[in-house]
Structure 1
């Protein structure tokens, strides 16, 4: 405000001086115009100096000036210095980010809001075959054309990673993970999991082969034990009791081998060939009847059908998954408990097969691991029930093959609920 007052006083002084000089010459109006013109010329010169400084020599010291123009030059100069310092820091930070990304073994690809390639590290060039000179600005799906990746990219549901082979080397297995950030921009990361994939494949082959090889000796052993059981009256009581225990354990081993083989098949086979539209009500009623036979009518089994919609899937696989849930409810709840099998449509449009009981419940600390192979909440009690520890793992894999999810809720003393949620696209 003080500088503005000075400029007004300067303008008034020049006008007054012009009027005085013009009065002496007999033309005060011309003198006033001359004074104002001199003030205009001064400001135009300062504007020209500002223009030349900003356009031709922005990094030089500002032009020398007094008053309001001098203050303006100083303020602009300080602002420029601050901006240059900020830009320098940002460039250094971007440089460090790029250097750290270059040092990563995982591929890092930055996409704009349209899905076009902006930047990637050298690992992406090696794994995905990206070429800087040709691919910058291209849409990601023009280079990664696998239909599964295109569907994954367009679905915008990136909670789970996607596993595919490399587009330039089918022997190389990559795990893709996409993250949304900024103004709808995306960061695509690809990790080489070839070694892990090979180890997992070796484990599956080992389990499948060992389980297959065990079937023959177990069948032979079970056959001879049945023969001895027919001769139980001719055998000593102690030997007869031992044969009975051997039969029980042989049957348990056969069930374990069968479950391992089924789990291996579910992991290896993509499935989908036998999918058809299923009536859910008859399926649940049949499973409930089998569960009643298992419990010897010591539990109350109820079936509640809240929707007439059919479900697209494999009847054999879904029967296996839901039966495991129902049989577990029978095995691990006390006599007199009520078990409910329910089919309903949720508000989200998803179909849900629900298996609930009012038994003792499960401590929430165990729930995240319930679907692991051979995981048991109570090892002693689980062994006594004759379970193999693979039922929930089988159910989980069956549901994954149907694009469904298994959700478990429970708390001690309040029973347990198992929800099998199927996407709306599988409902008919």
Structure 2
């Protein structure tokens, strides 16, 4: 190839590789060199490309002059990368050459996999209570029709399962709303200390049912209002989710603490911040779960979570809301030491 053509290849930001009529690699740009090694030029394409689907695609283009596509997986990078390869035949004086372009579709495939997993999880979460409801309905239409005691017991279970489905649908809608507005940063001032107090009052009856004491603590000596730019309803949802988790999974007759602290300088924001912690004195869990705890439908204990009426979406919603507020979300726990969820938000100075 001439100098200008080499410069054009080098300027293209995706891997490009040219296979000549002699089936050897004529040239490649620097991006392709990162994939196949800088010494790839001059080698037979079979020794460089290796993967059967891609080899077949190149051979077809060389033999028939027909364009094609193939999937190429690179496992030599820090992370596995997936490429969509297009083989474009080029007619020259000495025969057909093939230009290969490699489009990185790793993120697209990962997003598609996440979508499939999400649909499968939603289907499973809805199917479980629906199956129970159908079974109870069939029983109530049959032998249990005239048995008042069994009928009342089954109706109570049906109500619980229907409520669980309703919570799941509500959380799915909430997650959808949060994700759609995640790039829109809230601008209204919100007093986090006042919001925490109001949220605890709304959850007092739930806590009392388990004998749990809810406590708000100001952890600094500063008496200034803890103001942040925020969406009050969404921040209350974060607090509600975290406090409810503390009540459900903490110790019976125990405590859930909501701790607040003003920091004049937070490195994460290069300015003032407000730290909000929700901690319980329950049994905690293995820290190995922490990296996945904010994934949709991830649960440390599936059986216990369902018994408690959890949907597996609460922490995912909380994380998205914190991201929308340009905040940080941290989880700390040890078995037997309870759990602590920390939200750090930029403060209004």
State the distance in 2 between where 1:251 and 1:405 align: 32
Q: Residue 228 of structure 2 corresponds to which residue in structure 1?
A: 311
Asked whether the 8 Å contact 1:204–1:264 carries over to 2, the reply is no
State the distance in 1 between where 2:117 and 2:183 align: 17
Q: Residue 291 of structure 2 corresponds to which residue in structure 1?
A: 368
Q: Secondary structure at the match of 1:334?
A: coil
User: Shift of the alpha carbon at 1:353?
Assistant: 1.0
User: Shift of the alpha carbon at 1:329?
Assistant: 0.3
Q: Residue 384 of structure 1 corresponds to which residue in structure 2?
A: 307
Q: Secondary structure at the match of 2:203?
A: helix
User: Shift of the alpha carbon at 1:376?
Assistant: 1.5
> Equivalent residues in 2 for 1:30-45 (5 A)?
none
User: Shift of the alpha carbon at 1:270?
Assistant: 3.5
1:423 is aligned to 2:346: yes
Out of 31, 39, 63, which is 1:101 matched to? 31
Q: Residue 322 of structure 2 corresponds to which residue in structure 1?
A: 399
State the distance in 1 between where 2:292 and 2:327 align: 18
Unmatched 5+ stretches in structure 2: 1-27, 36-102, 141-145, 267-271
Q: Residue 151 of structure 2 corresponds to which residue in structure 1?
A: 239
Greater relative contact order, per chain length (Cα 8 Å cut-off, separation 6+): 2
> Equivalent residues in 2 for 1:6-405 (5 A)?
101-104=31-34, 195-196=108-109, 199=112, 236-270=148-182, 272=184, 275-296=187-208, 298-305=211-218, 306=220, 307-346=224-263, 348=266, 349-405=272-328
Unmatched 5+ stretches in structure 1: 1-97, 106-189, 229-233
| Structure 1 length-normalised TM | 0.47
User: Shift of the alpha carbon at 1:272?
Assistant: 3.4
State the distance in 1 between where 2:153 and 2:188 align: 48
Asked whether the 8 Å contact 1:341–1:354 carries over to 2, the reply is yes
Summarize deviations over 1:106-161 as a string: whole Å, max 9, x none: xxxxxxxxxxxxxxxxxxxxxxxxxxxxxxxxxxxxxxxxxxxxxxxxxxxxxxxx
User: Shift of the alpha carbon at 1:282?
Assistant: 1.9
Asked whether the 8 Å contact 1:272–1:314 carries over to 2, the reply is no
More strand by share: 2
Q: Which shows bigger deviation, 246-255 or 352-361?
A: 352-361
State the distance in 2 between where 1:284 and 1:327 align: 13
User: Shift of the alpha carbon at 1:204?
Assistant: 10
Q: Which shows bigger deviation, 291-300 or 401-410?
A: 291-300
Q: What is the CA RMSD across the aligned residues, in angstroms?
A: 3.7
Number of residue pairs aligned between Structure 1 and Structure 2? 232
| Structure 2 length-normalised TM | 0.57
Q: Secondary structure at the match of 2:310?
A: coil
